[in-house]
Amino acid sequence: MIADAARRALEALLGERVRFDAPVGRHTSLGVGGAADAIATPESIAEVEALVALCAEQRIPLHVLGGGFNTLVRDAGVDGVVLRTQRLRQLEVDADSVLNAQAGVSHSQVTRLTLERGLAGLEFGAGIPGSVGGWVAMNAGIPGRETGDRVLEIEVATPRGGLQRIGRAGLRFVYRGVQGLPAGSVVVAARFQLEPSTREAVRAEVERHLAHRRDTQPIDQPSFGSVFKNPPGERAGQLIELAGLKGLRCGGAEISSVHANFIVNVGAARAADALELMRRAQAAVRAQRGIELEPEVRIVGRCEA
């Protein structure tokens, strides 16, 4: 619950761009979950900067939501403020083939611009839904290619107020994460080094990644994934499939029959259904192979009473 004084401060800062007791699940790809105390949608980096500082000052929990493709919101809702980055959409390329993107820029925006300019280096992102802020924070990638490979610099809003730029030397990109960010900071922009190529070559690579995604992932259903990180030398989806759980349903959620490291909403799913499928997958793989599956999906919200 957000105190009255804090609510007034949030309203003064964002006006109609903050909503209270607002449903969050509809803003995620699985489409499940309860309400947040507040959902804030800043329209500029300056507003993000002020919001992060305000939440720190008022001790309000702050959760960042980009495209919502790798976030599961619990049914009981979320304490504090959910910050949506969707309006941070500025995107440009400079003369040195450096892509400058704000956190809310979508994968489709990046793909379109790099195709138009014939710039190579981020084609693999065509197969990864979400937005730039999430790509950086999660070091999104595919086997052999990761977002961090192309990052030159990121810009973050810090709880102390103000913005901080962190160059590549100050960052350590790890599997599905990045180290070196100030605690409680929010990624607001990033710069990526790309390489001049041709439209035809970039298009061919983009289409290759999109075709692979169409063939191997449940892109025509509400879903999230990858649900679990790949253990060293293994594939989480393959482990779940070998445990016999592909297609398993709980309530309105299902371990995808297309790719076992995705969970799909087959109708009126709840977050509890997805969490139970995750628990069963972990238990089955642990029993069969002695491997502990670690969630890649970010789980936010209040635990059920």
Asked whether 256 and 246 are in contact (CB, 8 A), the reply is yes
CATH code linked to domain 223-300 = 3.90.78.10
Burial 247-266 (b: 16+ CB within 10 A, else e): ebebbbbbbbebbbbbbbbb
4-84: what fold?
Answer: 3.30.43
Q: Identical fold at 4-84 and 223-300? A: no
Q: What pLDDT score was predicted for residue 126? A: 84
Out of 3.20.20.70, 3.40.50.2000, 3.40.1390.10, 3.30.465.10, which CATH number does the structure's domain 91-216 have? 3.30.465.10
pLDDT of residue 142: 84
* DSSP for residue 295: B
Predicted confidence at residue 186, as pLDDT, reads: 96
- pLDDT higher than threshold 60 for residue 73: yes
Active site residues: 176, 226, 296
pTM: 0.92
Domain ranges of the chain: 4-84, 91-216, 223-300
In this prediction, residue 129 carries a pLDDT of 82
Tens digit of pLDDT for each residue in 253-264? 999 999 999 999
Asked if 206 contacts 164 with a C-beta cutoff of 8 angstroms, the reply is no
What is the C-alpha to C-alpha distance for residues 143 and 136, in angstroms, rounded to an integer? 16
Of 153, 29, 176, 14, the closest CA to residue 81 belongs to 14
DSSP string, 127-167: GS-SBHHHHHHHT-EETTEEGGGTEEEEEEE-TTSSEEEEE
**Residue 305: per-residue pLDDT:** 53
Question: Is a pLDDT exceeding 70 seen at residue 55?
Answer: yes
The whole-number average pLDDT for the span 239-255 is 97
Q: Give the tens place of pLDDT for each residue, 82-126.
A: 999 999 999 999 989 999 999 999 988 999 999 999 999 999 888
Encode pLDDT of 151-181 as tens digits: 999 999 999 989 999 999 999 999 999 999 9
What whole-number distance in Å separates Cα of residue 252 and Cα of residue 273?
7
N residues, the chain: 305
Q: 1 falls in which pLDDT band (50, 70, 90)?
A: confident
